[in-house]
Structure 1
Amino acid sequence: MNIIFKTVASIVLLAVCFSCNQKENDSRINKKKEVTAKEILGNPKYLAISYGGYRATSRDVQPTIPQLKEDMKILSAMGIKLIRTYNVQLPHAPNILKAISELKSEDPSFEMYVMLGAWIDCKNAWTGQTPDHNIESEQNEGEIARAVKLANQYPDIVKILAVGNEAMVKWAESYYVQPSVILKWVNHLQSLKAKGGLAKALWVTSSDDFSSWGGGDSLYHTPDLEKLVKAVDYISMHTYPYHNSHYNPAFWHVPPGEHNLPEIEKVNAAMARALNFAQAQYDSVSNYVKSLGVEKPIHIGETGWATISDGFYGNEGSRATDEYKQGLYYKLIREWTNSKNITCFYFEAFDEQWKDANNPQGSENHFGLFTLKGEAKYPVWPLVDEGVFNGLTRDGQAIVKTFKGDVETLKAQVLAPPQKQDSIK
């Protein structure tokens, strides 16, 4: 009897020890997954992308939780682990956080983090009245409060708060504010972190055009911008060679020495120059920050390339727009930023038709790496070949290649940029 008792006791003890060890192992695994913004940003294992996911021509039609979960699975399959959202005025961002939380509950290995944007406006923005760029909108306070609440509700997912999107650049004539407004709210969030009202590991930034971060016209070099550079945890800058193919086309046009090259080689050379253009804008921000005696991480909050345009960037304009060029730009920008430990929020994941709802061919509707139907554009074709999307769908549609995967058909639509002596309409 004693032998039996001792044997049972030993088995129970072993079971208890195994259970304790298992809990300790689970705890270690969970702790390992709790990474911070400092560990995520600059780490090429955490690819980043801007995400909207709207299907309709109006944001009044919000993506459903199941649709958001579908999209998150697609992005996760291609190695994306960090997405960027833009406002908390609409149900969109809270729904994304809920979708990610559900995915994590269903599969503890699922990993996706969020740079949560809080939209910032000036007084009278979007009202039909004259915007007052020296006074902020009364809506900003509520927007920041909602962002704080969500960051505290989902601390395992929200790793970054961004105050404003292109909110300081002066070409955003409908809504831009002075740097003092962004500084006010960045300081507010940093104060909350210091007092325990937000996680100390949460990083705070503002995501804006390279010029707004001191990389362009000296009119942006103000005392408030200097204070802002010192207040944020890192710089999130935007760079768009695509748009500059129209507005600042000197880098884009085919130089005389390349006039006799085959058309596709002219395109390849132009895309190499486009990368150089983005790198130069990055360096200009870096140089300005260093001129202030500040050492601070600089990451790319937005850059991208559209695939359809009937305007400035189309066949009658700079001829910048097609999937082949998008594919080259995506490859080049990812290779550069990954090699330099720069996080790049590529713009964007999926096409969205609400941005230029009255013009289906408008470029703003076509920056996605996937079409509305979930077709993989040229930059993502290799991932389709690898089978990473097998079993995944978007709104019931399997992930297939655009152009039925025929690269020659795709290339047949590609035009080289204008030559230096050509005029652009």
Structure 2
Amino acid sequence: METTMHNNDKNWADSGNAICYSGYRAGQSPVHGIFPSALEIGEDLALLQPRWKFLRLYDCTAHAETVLQVIEEQQLDFKVMLGANMTAESSNPNCPWGAHFDEETLASNRIANDREIDRLIALSLRYPDVVFSVSIGNEASVDWSDHLVPVERLVAQTRRLKSAITQPVTFCENYVPWTNKLEPLARELDFISVHTYPVWEYQSIEHAMAFTQQNLQAVIDKNPDKPIVITEAGWTTASNGRGIEPNNASQQLQAIYCRELLNWSREAGILTFIFEAFDESWKGSEDPLEPEKHWGLWTEDRQPKLALQTLFANQG
């Protein structure tokens, strides 16, 4: 299937590779407010710099602020998509692991989300040469989300951002909502950011790229006049069977999918962020084989996985 990025006047895909970056190491997590140091972030960026130009950050915590500071102070050649971490503004009975909140909690979350957008604006204005785009949230409208935000609130936050900063504004979401409920939001955005995960939807490696292309084509067909970016796509290297069969998670499968994904996205001219740079043990359950923990191209102790040996094999 041939897929092209419509009205892509930004030419980002021709400027370098893209990856999602979260620098939490063993014993660190945003949940407990234990963040990587500037030295640790500098070490990570030194690993990423030879092959990656675009980084995606998920929130406006101290972690993001330190990343931006290190990039600017060390004059590193990175461009960052800076995100907002939205909390639930609506309960969601469709969330499999539970997302029911009382009205007091939801009201508090709305205030917290407004403050997160305040920080997003402030950091975008402080680092205009590093932050190349901003996202108003991450997976906050898909049916299974535990941090559901009404579309009208996403529209309002988009308008607020666009009145305050000059960077392009997007929203990062699973491909399905872009084909239906997010039409009012899509009209407001500068470009659409899509997530596609064949392995979460029980696809074999043989069908994975065709599935990714189908996901993206469905979004393009619905939004033909909007530029499209893939902000998450990847393959986990371990699983305990929760949502992903253990035999469908390995370094070999990750290497195959990421190689095919980058080759195709370069040809199609679609900026694509690999999910993700480093494994993160703080995510998911306590089970060490929880699939959420194992999407990195590097392990948590910064050892390269097989994919890194094959992704750039023909590029010197």
Matched, 1:183 2:180: no
- Counterpart of 1:153 in structure 2 is 126
For normalisation by structure 1, the TM-score amounts to 0.66
Is the Cα contact below 8 Å between 1:304 and 1:330 reproduced in 2? yes
Match of 2:112 among 139, 160, 166: 139
User: Structure 1, residues 166-218: CA drift from partner, whole Å, max 9, x if none?
Assistant: 0111201x2111211111111111222xxxxx23xx1100000101111xxxx
User: C-alpha distance in 1, partners of 2:194/2:135?
Assistant: 11
Query: Which of residues 110, 113, 135 is equivalent to 2:79?
Result: 113
Counterpart CA distance in 1 for 2:184 and 2:284 is 36
Question: CA 1:305/1:183 → structure 2, altered by over 3 Å: closer, same or farther?
Answer: same
How much does 1:38 deviate? Answer: 5.7
| Aligned positions of 1:143-292 closer than 5 A | 143-172=116-145, 174-192=146-164, 198-199=165-166, 202-214=167-179, 221-222=180-181, 225-245=182-202, 252=203, 270-290=204-224
TM-superposition CA deviations, 1:91-111 (whole Å, max 9, x none): 11001001111220xxxxx31
Match of 1:123 in 2: 89
8 Å CA contact 1:376–1:384 kept in 2: the answer is no
Partner of 2:3: none
1:231-267 Cα offsets, whole Å, 9 max, x none, are 101000100001001xxxxxx3xxxxxxxxxxxxxxx
CA separation of 1:299/1:142 partners in 2, compared to 1, >3 Å: closer, same or farther?
same
Q: Is the 8 A contact 1:123 1:137 kept in 2?
A: yes
Q: Which amino acid aligns with 1:244?
A: E
Percent of residue pairs bearing the same amino acid type: 30
C-alpha RMSD of matched pairs (Å): 2.6
- What one-letter code is carried by the residue in structure 1 that aligns with 2:197? Y
Q: Are residues 1:303 and 2:233 paired?
A: yes
Task: Check the 8 A contact 2:197/2:212 in 1, yes or no.
Answer: yes
CA distance in structure 2 between the aligned counterparts of 1:336 and 1:128, rounded to whole angstroms: 37
Say whether the 8 Å CA contact 2:90–2:106 is kept in structure 1. no
Question: Contact (CA 8 Å) 1:134, 1:177: kept in 2 or not?
Answer: no
Q: 1:161 to 1:186 in 2, by over 3 A?
A: same
Question: Structure 1 382/244 Cα, relative in aligned 2: closer, same or farther at 3 Å?
Answer: closer
What are the ranges of 5 or more consecutive residues in structure 2 without an aligned counterpart? 1-7, 92-96
- Given the alignment of the two structures, is residue 346 of structure 1 paired with residue 267 of structure 2, yes or no? no
Matches within 5 A, 1:263-412: 270-290=204-224, 295-312=225-242, 317=245, 319-356=247-284, 358-382=286-310
SS at 2:163 equivalent: helix
TM-score, normalized by length of structure 2? Answer: 0.87
Task: From the superposition, tell whether residues 103 and 40 of structure 1 become closer, same or farther in structure 2 (CA, over 3 Å).
Answer: farther
Counterpart-to-counterpart distance in 1, 2:122 and 2:143: 30
Contact kept in structure 1, 2:255 and 2:311, CA below 8 Å: no
Q: What is the letter of the counterpart of residue 147 of structure 1?
A: L
**Aligned partner letter, 1:355:** K
Q: Within 2, Cα distance between the matches of 1:384 and 1:169?
A: 34
Q: Please give the alpha-carbon distance, in whole angstroms, between the structure 2 residues aligned to 1:113 and 1:160.
A: 9
CA deviation string 1:6-63 (max 9, x = no partner): xxxxxxxxxxxxxxxxxxxxxxxxxxxxxxx9645232x3211101010024413211
Specify which of 49, 64, 83 is matched with residue 55 of structure 2. Answer: 83
Q: Which amino acid in the other structure matches residue 379 of structure 1?
A: A
Seen in structure 2, the aligned counterparts of structure 1 residues 167 and 72 have a Cα distance that, compared at 3 Å, is same
Measured in 2, the distance between the counterparts of 1:184 and 1:134 equals 17
Moved over 3 A (4+): 37-40, 123-129, 131-136, 382-388
* Aligned equivalents of 2:314, 2:263: Cα separation in 1: 19
Is residue 131–residue 175 contact of structure 1 (8 Å, CA) maintained in 2? Answer: no
Unaligned runs of 5+ in 1: 1-36, 105-109, 193-197, 215-220, 246-251, 253-269, 389-425
- Greater C-alpha Rg: 1
- Structure 2 residue 25 is matched with structure 1 residue 55: yes
CA–CA separation in structure 2 for the residues paired with 1:134 and 1:210: 26
Q: Relative contact order: is structure 1 or structure 2 higher (C-alpha 8 Å, sep ≥ 6)?
A: 2
